[in-house]
């Protein structure tokens, strides 16, 4: 089952926000995340807030779009009451779960509610995640007609035994078909990969990388597998049924990926993300960048997280509990925390150090600024960028990003 929600202060039943969230709001982008918590099956490694049909306990997929639309209306009321002038959404992202398990008309209705409520900024990015076996050409054409601009496909691997360990159900041969259909529909394409699966060799990983590059996607994400407590995979490893993860091999896999992506014309812009640049058009995930850059977003749906002006909150997790709150006219928020200035500074260093744009040296305390020279000497931080006042990770630094952040924030 998905992991527990964080501990924090209770959220008010009307969802109201303090007036402080309006400070500087005009300078921050606004995004909307819509969490669709439904999956056909639960993959053994997955710790996301997702539910199969037999886990819904009375909640209905058919009711979900309407419930999400009610929360969108609540969001507009709350933001207005906090004194934040309406901002057009710069990005909209449907994640999950598998959003494309819902009829495309449901996704369109939710998107249109966002547009009717806030509008879309010029050139707004509108993305949905999709499993390769959950869409066809007609579905993708309908997404584009509804206003979607981008699809993020959960490829994970091109090697059958790796997919079997992850309990992914799609056939790798379907990837080229879906990418072709997405391009025919006029959608940008991102492929999501996972590396470090038990039993996956460096050769297996290269097969997946070459296969992904052959599709010429606009964007590629490559995430190291993390074994979360409570998942089926964690139990299998604990019982000795599956070998534990090999951190050294995972590092080799990351370096291989970065080399292949770079050679193919992709640039890293966040530790686990690469995009191609063609004719001046950038294909970075602007929605995810907004998280790393500390902008505002409203998360709609069960377990969705939100952040506005230094206040962070999250919704009740189960779709049935979410439905009950919505039906009662209450905010679905389960808990919240208000970040003080120091916590916000620490988070800026933590998040911005992961992106190619880097973190300004001015954000660091004196001990952090003193640490930069040693990080350069160790080959973890780019010297030229640091001399210009920005901490940017090298390839080795990306492999040791957590250690770098610890030194930048150490007392």
Tell me if 355 sits within 8 A of 269, measured CB to CB: yes
pLDDT band with cut points at 50, 70 and 90 for residue 2: very low
The structure tokens 């070998």 sit at: 243
**Do the beta carbons of residue 84 and residue 22 sit within 8 Å?**
yes
Domain match, 258 and 349 both: no
Q: Is residue 166 part of a domain?
A: yes
Q: Where are the alpha helices (DSSP H) in 159-279?
A: 160-166, 174-185, 202-214, 232-238, 247-263
170 falls within a domain: yes
Question: Domain for residue 258, yes or no?
Answer: yes
- The larger pLDDT score, comparing residue 1 to residue 341, is at 341
Burial string for 272-304 (b: 16+ CB within 10 Å, else e) reads bbbbbeeeeeebbbbbbbbbbeebbbbbbbbbb
Q: Are residues 243 and 152 in the same domain?
A: yes
Q: Is the pLDDT of residue 117 over 90?
A: yes
Q: What's the Cα-to-Cα distance from 91 to each of 41, 139, 284, 295, rounded to whole Å? A: 29, 21, 12, 11
383 and 279 part of one domain: no
Could you tell me if residue 330 is inside a domain?
no
Strands 273-278 and 390-391, by their bridges, are: unpaired
Boundary-marking domain end, from 263, 292, 321 = 292
**Bridge partners for 274 per DSSP:** 220, 268
Q: Residue 70 is encoded by which pair of tokens? A: 């009610």
Does residue 261 sit in the same domain as residue 376? Answer: no
Pair 109, 187 in one domain: yes
The Cα–Cα gap between 377 and 390 comes to: 16
pLDDT at 1: 38
And the tokens for 251? 């590092």
Alpha-carbon distance 126 to 53, whole Å? 27
pLDDT digits (tens, 9 = 90+) for 269-282: 999 999 998 755 58
Q: What value does the mean pLDDT take over residues 310-334?
A: 96
Cα 257 from chain centroid?
20
Angle subtended by helix axes 401-409 and 366-377, to nearest 10: 140
Domain count, the chain: 2
Average pLDDT of the chain?
93
Q: Model confidence over 181-239: pLDDT tens digits?
A: 999 999 999 999 999 999 999 999 999 999 999 999 999 999 999 877 777 787 888 88
pLDDT reported for residue 170: 87
Strand 390-391 versus strand 359-360 pairing type: antiparallel
| Contact assessment for residue 401 and residue 389, using Cβ atoms and an 8 Å cutoff | no
pLDDT at 213: 98
State yes or no: pLDDT of 53 exceeds 90. Answer: no
Q: Indicate if the pLDDT at residue 35 is higher than 80.
A: yes
What are the pLDDT digits (tens) for 123-180?
999 999 999 999 999 999 999 999 999 999 999 999 999 999 998 888 999 999 999 9
Q: Determine what percent of the chain is predicted with pLDDT higher than 90.
A: 83
pLDDT at 40: 81
Query: Are 39 and 2 spatial neighbours (Cβ–Cβ below 8 Å)?
Result: no
From 113-117, 400-404, 407-411, the region with the lowest mean pLDDT: 407-411
Which residues partner with 187 through β-bridges? none
Instruction: Out of 292, 308, 325, pick the residue that ends a domain.
Output: 292
Structure-token pair, residue 63: 């009711």
Residues 126 and 263 in one domain: yes
Ranking 40-49, 304-313, 317-326 by mean pLDDT, the lowest is 40-49
Identify whether 81 is part of a domain: yes
Range of weakest confidence among 48-52, 71-75, 127-131, 295-299:
48-52
Beta bridge partners of 125: 91
For residue 387, the enclosing domain spans: 340-411
Q: Say whether both 272 and 387 belong to one domain.
A: no
> Is the Cβ–Cβ distance between 3 and 47 less than 8 Å?
yes
Q: Are 193 and 288 members of one domain?
A: yes
**Contact residues for 18 (Cβ-Cβ < 8 A; gap 6+):** 82, 311, 338
Residue 305 inside a domain? The answer is no
3-state secondary structure of 201: coil
Note whether residue 298 is domain-resident.
no
């Amino acid at each position: 089952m998905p992991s527990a929600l964080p501990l924090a202060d209770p959220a008010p039943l009307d969802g109201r926000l303090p007036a402080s969230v309006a400070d500087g709001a005009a300078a921050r982008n606004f995004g909307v995340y819509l969490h669709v918590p439904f999956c056909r099956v639960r993959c053994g490694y997955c710790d996301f807030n997702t539910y199969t049909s037999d886990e819904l306990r009375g909640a209905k997929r058919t009711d979900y779009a309407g419930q999400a639309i009610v929360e969108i209306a609540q969001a507009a009321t709350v933001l207005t009451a906090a004194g934040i002038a309406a901002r057009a959404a710069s990005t909209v992202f449907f994640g999950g779960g598998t959003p494309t398990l819902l009829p495309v008309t449901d996704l369109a209705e939710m998107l249109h509610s966002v547009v009717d409520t806030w509008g879309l900024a010029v050139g707004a990015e509108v993305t949905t995640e999709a499993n390769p076996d959950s869409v066809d050409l007609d579905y993708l054409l309908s997404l584009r007609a509804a206003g979607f601009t981008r699809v993020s496909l959960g490829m994970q691997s091109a090697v059958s035994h790796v997919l079997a360990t992850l309990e992914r159900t799609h056939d790798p041969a379907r990837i080229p078909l879906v990418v072709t259909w997405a391009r025919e529909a006029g959608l940008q394409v991102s492929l999501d990969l996972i590396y470090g699966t038990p039993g996956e060799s460096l050769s297996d990983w290269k097969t997946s990388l070459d296969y992904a590059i052959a599709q010429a996607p606009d964007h590629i994400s490559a995430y190291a597998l993390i074994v979360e407590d409570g998942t089926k995979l964690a139990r299998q490893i604990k019982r000795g049924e599956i070998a534990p993860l090999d951190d050294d091999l995972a590092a080799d896999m990351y370096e291989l990926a970065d080399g292949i992506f770079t050679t193919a014309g992709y640039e890293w812009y966040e530790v686990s993300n690469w995009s191609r640049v063609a004719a001046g058009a950038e294909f970075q995930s602007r929605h995810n960048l907004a998280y790393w850059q500390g902008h505002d977003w409203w998360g709609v749906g069960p377990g969705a997280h939100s952040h506005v002006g230094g206040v962070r909150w999250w919704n009740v997790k189960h779709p049935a509990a979410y439905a009950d709150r919505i039906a009662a006219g209450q905010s679905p928020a389960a808990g919240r925390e208000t970040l003080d200035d120091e916590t916000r500074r620490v988070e800026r260093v933590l998040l911005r150090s992961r992106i190619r744009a880097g973190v300004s040296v001015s954000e660091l305390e004196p001990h952090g600024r003193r640490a930069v020279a040693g990080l350069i000497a160790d080959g973890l931080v780019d010297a030229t960028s640091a001399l210009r006042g920005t901490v940017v990770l090298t390839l080795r630094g990306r492999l040791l990003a957590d250690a770098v952040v610890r030194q930048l924030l150490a007392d």
